[in-house]
Amino acid sequence: MKEIENLELLFLSIEDYSELKEVMQMAYSNMEGSYWKKHHIEKLISLFPEGQVVVKVNGKIAGCALSLIVQSLRFEKAHTNKQITGNYSFDTHDPKGDILYGIDVFIKPEFRGLRLGRRLYDYRKELCEKLNLKGILFGGRI
């Protein structure tokens, strides 16, 4: 790994998709179909741009966090990733909801151990406070 000269936390842009896809495939190398398709990322950005962030090291994507806002009462019991994402339509996103729900977070393997994931979670905490939400929930794809 090269020396870190520049570290940025930025909103995800659809122009980042090709690089994002590569990073997702590296981060989830043991998982088939591990990346979000371009139309999924476009939809997330259009619904909730503040919830989709990347951390860039020296101008390259090192990690990403994807989020929705949901109503806690709808998802207070056990649920699946498919349910929380509305079968990947993201129609569960509710700008008037009360919970920030992290649907994904990943770090490129070569950047693991540098606390970049913590930076993404710290951003989520700040966003939760800014939007006056009750809290943060998150799940994973297995």
pLDDT tens, residue order, the chain (142 aa): 567 889 999 999 999 999 999 999 999 988 877 899 999 999 999 999 999 999 999 999 999 999 999 998 887 778 888 889 999 999 999 999 999 999 999 999 999 999 999 999 999 999 999 999 999 998 766 5
C-alpha span between 67 and 7 (Å, rounded): 21
pTM here is 0.93
Element containing residue 123 per DSSP (H, E): helix 116-130
Structural domain boundaries in the chain: 7-138
Element containing residue 45 per DSSP (H, E): helix 38-47
Locate 117 and state its tokens. 């994931």
Superfamily of domain 7-138: Gcn5-related N-acetyltransferase (GNAT) (3.40.630.30)
| Rg (the chain; Cα; Å) | 15
Assess contact for 98 and 71: CB atoms under 8 A. yes
133 phi, psi to nearest 5 deg: -90, 160
Confidence (pLDDT) at 141: 61
Confidence (pLDDT) at 1: 58
Locate 24 and state its tokens. 């997702």
| Residues 117, 121, 124: CA angle, nearest 5 degrees | 145
- Name the maximum alpha-carbon separation found in the chain: 46
Q: Is the dihedral of CA 8, 9, 10, 15 positive or negative?
A: positive
Confidence (pLDDT) at 140: 67
Assess contact for 26 and 108: CB atoms under 8 A. yes
